[in-house]
Structure 1
């Protein structure tokens, strides 16, 4: 087995891992960094979107490395009772552009693509042998685990199930702004094994290019590709967009957290002396599953604390994860209202009411930065769910977030192959 020495090894080349590597390289170009990813590309097959207001100036500077599509004149939402245009600028980035940006910025020696990690510890990472070489040990002063979210019986909630398709049309589509939620679609259509809150997400990526995603807030994590693909076809035909070529697609399942025992979850993923970031570390928005602004903040925090020994970096992320869990308790409460107080076909009323509120409140909500007034305002007024059901929902936690072997599970972090826990490695 050959050995190599690094300042930092990052396992998992998804959004969190890639941004940490970039931020570290920009702040400390003399550092030897390694990104280990079982897939052949960084970021996998995914599209990330965010509101411009989510990021600080430093965050925008970090993301300026990557090609993005932006809409400075805002976005739309559509519900059965109204349509609304909001002014907040919106951004989107494809995983292909994420990969291209990182491979351009990082040294070739930093990228271990198509390499499977078979062991992590505080002193480094063990890689499996390849078809053309022997196993390899990457020794490191610090190790950061950025693999994908791990379903756990210690966490509770529902699921966001989606299938997206990038279409290139022969004629201009005429859609000027993104539609973040088009909930005028049929709310009684099952996503697989049951009903769910359904909406279509529309991104006009160019005059002839449009990205359509059929999304469900569902109790069941199963993804019926055939059903969702058929509904995208139906939506495209209804808008005159049925003559296009398919450029790309994505599909997956994201957790929507309603509660759980977070310290117990941390115990199941913790490897002594190894920092845990990304969705695996709990760094997501519990209700919307947004990760961009949180991933950017964590990447900048790593860059600012680059000289910390591995044990201290692990402790810092453990603290940040617990703080994030406490900070986002309010959004888990709202997720309980959504899943346990409203019938699936009537969950649309929750979002329909929410999007009538002030734009600043909506911006802060998506960034998980709601102030006390925001929190009261969201709950104030005529409730979109029955009050007795809402009271009952406050004390529920939901089903454990476990998936069976038939479920196609993909989080917002591209999955790095699982390895055994520390005591099994």
Structure 2
């Protein structure tokens, strides 16, 4: 490799956005994106709120957005609400297509190894170094004969039976007849019974009165929800002296498991960095990830109460109460930018979990 070359290992969300940002803002740098799969981005649909992304960084995601809506809704047994924040989705097919069009050097079906200035974005490190709950899901794109009747996303429909922890259905209406239906669980275990969850999706569709004409796509996922752990041990588990991104760097929201806002922020920071040497990139990404970990202790505290204090079938009360709070606070929470005043507001009032269990869970951390 020559000076000024950067290899990015892993063509998922984090690696792809860094490669794109560098290609747009640092044309003097030759970036090679290496992906062990046959396509960039795998088989995923990523979504984000407008408030997740700083205006100055919107250029990093805008070319990849497949669908956009002007609001979304949530549904709980005792509370329904429509929120006005813009909501966006990126599908991996578009992600793959745009990156191949914009990047001069993409290598597929290769594992790749660090060589010179490299950024490792090849998925999670040793999750055994962390104390975790899990957000897991099965999602299907359904074609509904005659239309599904939805006009906006439903980020949480928790009016469904509570199974395997906090369960909700997530809905994205792509067009009049096409809808993405994801059955999601905040669970104590990472096991995913795809057949059983698929049957629940079909039952949910039937309960809506939908006549499903076709199933066009399926994806599955198991995301970590961080209760605690050793960040330094997690970082060391995949090497100490190499730059990292995405799940490899521990850059994901501790409560939601989602990594898109962090992926955008890191891509922006790398594209603006004056020094892109191997040593500087390793230092930049380590410091960036460690700052994020240290700043997010509040979310891990909430996760402790959710997973250690709330009975699994009653966890929905925590989210139902959360969605009664002011909309700007909700936006800052998902963006990972909760203020001190927000924290006080979230914890104030009658807790949605038993006080004794909550205190016991916190003291055991």
- Post-superposition shift, 1:6? 6.3
Matched, 1:90 2:58: no
Q: In the aligned structure 1, how far is the partner of 2:152 from the partner of 2:322?
A: 20
Q: In the aligned structure 2, how far is the partner of 1:313 from the partner of 1:56?
A: 22
Q: In the aligned structure 1, how far is the partner of 2:96 from the partner of 2:52?
A: 22
TM-score normalised per structure 1: 0.84
Match runs of 1:146-157 below 5 Å: 146-157=121-132
Counterpart of 2:74 (choices 66, 74, 77) is 77
Matched, 1:15 2:10: no
Q: In the aligned structure 1, how far is the partner of 2:287 from the partner of 2:275?
A: 18
Q: Could you tell me which residue of structure 1 aligns to residue 102 of structure 2?
A: 105
Q: Which one has a larger percent helix, Structure 1 or Structure 2?
A: 2
Q: Could you tell me which residue of structure 2 aligns to residue 323 of structure 1?
A: 291
Q: In the aligned structure 1, how far is the partner of 2:329 from the partner of 2:65?
A: 29
**RMSD of the TM alignment (CA)?**
1.3
Q: Could you tell me which residue of structure 2 aligns to residue 135 of structure 1?
A: none
Aligned length: 365
Q: In the aligned structure 1, how far is the partner of 2:345 from the partner of 2:331?
A: 14
**Residues 156-198 of structure 1, C-alpha deviations (whole Å, 9 max, x = no match):** 11111100001122212110110000000001x3xxxxx3110
TM-score normalised per structure 2: 0.97
- Post-superposition shift, 1:269? 1.6
Counterpart of 1:249 (choices 218, 235, 242) is 218
Q: Which runs of 4+ in 1 moved over 6 A?
A: 3-6
Match runs of 1:45-56 below 5 Å: 45-56=43-54
Counterpart of 1:281 (choices 216, 236, 249) is 249
Counterpart of 1:344 (choices 312, 320, 329) is 312
Give the SS at the match of 1:65.
Answer: helix
- Post-superposition shift, 1:56? 1.5
The answer (yes or no) to whether the contact 1:290–1:366 under 8 Å persists in 2 is: no
The answer (yes or no) to whether the contact 1:275–1:318 under 8 Å persists in 2 is: yes
Q: In the aligned structure 2, how far is the partner of 1:67 from the partner of 1:279?
A: 21
Give the SS at the match of 2:125.
Answer: coil
**Residues 302-322 of structure 1, C-alpha deviations (whole Å, 9 max, x = no match):** 100153311111011111111
- Post-superposition shift, 1:82? 1.5
Q: Which runs of 5+ in 1 are unaligned?
A: 125-139, 190-194, 398-425
Counterpart of 1:196 (choices 165, 182, 207) is 165
Counterpart of 1:160 (choices 135, 154, 160) is 135
Q: Which runs of 5+ in 2 are unaligned?
A: none
Q: In the aligned structure 2, how far is the partner of 1:308 from the partner of 1:226?
A: 46
The answer (yes or no) to whether the contact 1:336–1:396 under 8 Å persists in 2 is: no
Q: Could you tell me which residue of structure 2 aligns to residue 419 of structure 1?
A: none
The answer (yes or no) to whether the contact 1:257–1:287 under 8 Å persists in 2 is: yes
Matched, 1:172 2:147: yes
